[in-house]
Structure 1
Amino acid sequence: MQKTIKQTASCTGIGITGQTDCTVTFQPAPPDTGIVFIRKDLPGQPEVPCRPEYARVDARWTSLVNNDIRIDHTEHLLAAIAGLGLDNLKVSLSSPFIPVVSSFSSRDFVQALLKAELVLQDRPKRCFRVKEPVCIVNSFFHQEKRYDRFLLALPAPELILTYLLDYPDKEIPTQLAQFSFANSLDFASELATARSYITEGEYETVAKLIGKNMEDCLVITKGPLNLQWDNEPARHKVLDLLGDIHTMGRPVKGHFIGIRTGHKDNNQLCQKLKMQVKEAL
């Protein structure tokens, strides 16, 4: 059955560019509404439905853009919504930016939504089902050597995400993470708290993009790291993949396998996927 929340909840933090405070507010929505973002800061309070044709990757994060109305940095919030199995929500923003919370994880969003109480609705879920394999292959160069990135979607009776993190120079040891989404409490404890990260070599570039948010960013160095799990970076990649897949606007059933991939690959896959999926009840 479809699911929403019982009461209103909110989260406050700093926008992804590190310049302004912003608030996101979750409100219950009727069955078959889907996820709808509302820019409360703009005249007329325009709405942007969560749909794949509006998804864009302009920087190091994913956004939804409709008629120049932007919802920036969607992946961690959409991951929280998807991981908890929510189908219908109104999400109001005080700025173009969804706030950064809990070291770029989904933890605070999940806690706010759970506090708002998840409730079942009297309509069956409307899902997208992967009906045939879809593959994205891209490449990059490191020290004049080519490396490939792969993202594959396969038919499966439930949502399963697998990610292989493999840096060419092993700044982060090669690691694997896999997650299925049968239990929202498992998601809350085992995936939602996985923090975003950068490597030392990326520090200056990222600092220019996110400003004071660098204070909350996990920086991978050669010294000892206080990780929640040995494969926390790979788990965060799974979290990002979950959020980006949910730009489809509905729950998705399929097995997604990523190797060295990121937001741009995820978005490319969703653009292909929307042409090759069928609706299933």
Structure 2
Amino acid sequence: MQKTITFPSEVSGMAINGSCQSTVMFEPAKPDTGIVFIRNDLLEKPEVECLPNYAFVNKRWSSLMKDGVYIEHTEHVLAAIAALEITNIRIHLNCPYLPVISDFSSWGFMQALLEAVPITQTAPKKFIAVKEPLWVLDSFETKGGNRYDSLLLGLPSTNFSITYLLNYPDKEIPTQLAHFSTAKDDQSLSEFAKARSFILDSEYDSMMQLFGENIKKCLMIPSDKTKLRWSNEIARHKVLDLVGDLMLLGKPIKGHFIGFRSGHSANIDMVRLLNR
């Protein structure tokens, strides 16, 4: 069945680019509303529906844009919504940017949504299902001059699951594997909500220009690798990002996704394939 929240709730933090304080207010919504963002800072309070036609990658995060109205940094809030199986919600913003909270993870959003008390509605849940194998294949070159392939597969399945393999031989990141499934005998998605984002020490100066003071909330690799919450925390965060990006479809999904060095760009390409 579809699900919304019982009470409004809000959460605040620094905008992802460090430009201002961002506050998000979650509001209950009727069945079949879907996920809708509202820009309260603009005169007509325009609404941007969470739909694949509006999705794009901006810098190092995922976003929505409709008729020139932007909703920036959607992946972590959408991952929290997916983890709690919420299908109908209205999300009010005081600026274009979702806030960075709980060290670039989804945990703070989950806490705010739990305080709002998720509730089942009477309408049946509508899924998007992977009907045939889909893939996004890409390649990229690192600053060290090494070229690597990345791959994201989408396979038919009766539930929703993700397997992610992180492997960068020329970087000081150990190979990591993370997996979750909605099957009862596997880890629940909520166990991934505290996994934090990361940057490489060598990226610090360039990322400071993107994130501002928020950079202090990122894991620094390799200097922070002994402080990981789990030995595969970086791969776990990649799973979290993929879950949030897939929610740009606007509906829950059934399929098994396998990522190998993939990121936001491949995730959005997969969303577009699923929307055909």
TM interval, shorter chain, is over 0.9
Pairs within 5 Å for 1:33-52: 33-52=33-52
Distance in 2 (alpha carbons) for counterparts of 1:123 and 1:151: 32
Q: TM-score, normalised by structure 2?
A: 0.96
Contact 1:161 1:178 in 2 (8 A): yes
Partner in structure 1 of residue 146 of structure 2: 145
Distance in 2 (alpha carbons) for counterparts of 1:269 and 1:108: 27
CA RMSD of aligned residues (A): 1.5
Contact 1:78 1:243 in 2 (8 A): yes
Shift in Å, 1:145: 3.5
**1:225 match: secondary structure:** helix
Distance in 1 (alpha carbons) for counterparts of 2:229 and 2:62: 25
Q: TM-score, normalised by structure 1?
A: 0.94
Residue 74 of structure 1 aligns with an amino acid whose one-letter code is T
Distance in 2 (alpha carbons) for counterparts of 1:231 and 1:238: 11
Contact 1:83 1:181 in 2 (8 A): no
Structure 2 unaligned segments of length 5 or more: list them: none
Pairs within 5 Å for 1:189-228: 190-222=191-223, 225-228=226-229
Partner in structure 2 of residue 267 of structure 1: 268
Post-superposition Cα deviations, 1:18-76, rounded to whole Å, max 9, x if no partner, equal 11001000000000000000000001100000000100102000000001100000000
**2:82 match: secondary structure:** helix
Contact 2:192 2:237 in 1 (8 A): yes
Partner in structure 2 of residue 242 of structure 1: 243
Residue 33 of structure 1 aligns with an amino acid whose one-letter code is T
Alignment length (residue pairs): 274
Pairs within 5 Å for 1:52-131: 52-131=52-131
Shift in Å, 1:182: 4.9
Contact 1:56 1:64 in 2 (8 A): yes
Distance in 1 (alpha carbons) for counterparts of 2:187 and 2:102: 18
Distance in 2 (alpha carbons) for counterparts of 1:144 and 1:170: 12
- Distance change >3 Å, CA 41–CA 222, structure 1 → 2: closer
- Distance change >3 Å, CA 80–CA 224, structure 1 → 2: closer
Residue 70 of structure 2 aligns with an amino acid whose one-letter code is R
Post-superposition Cα deviations, 1:237-265, rounded to whole Å, max 9, x if no partner, equal 00000000000000010001100011011
Partner in structure 2 of residue 278 of structure 1: none
Distance in 2 (alpha carbons) for counterparts of 1:208 and 1:34: 34
- Distance change >3 Å, CA 47–CA 224, structure 1 → 2: closer
Partner in structure 2 of residue 19 of structure 1: 19
Distance in 2 (alpha carbons) for counterparts of 1:192 and 1:226: 17
Post-superposition Cα deviations, 1:121-178, rounded to whole Å, max 9, x if no partner, equal 0011011000001100000123443210000000000110111001131411011000
Distance in 2 (alpha carbons) for counterparts of 1:258 and 1:240: 11
Distance in 1 (alpha carbons) for counterparts of 2:183 and 2:175: 27
Distance in 2 (alpha carbons) for counterparts of 1:43 and 1:224: 45
Contact 1:150 1:259 in 2 (8 A): yes
**1:96 match: secondary structure:** coil
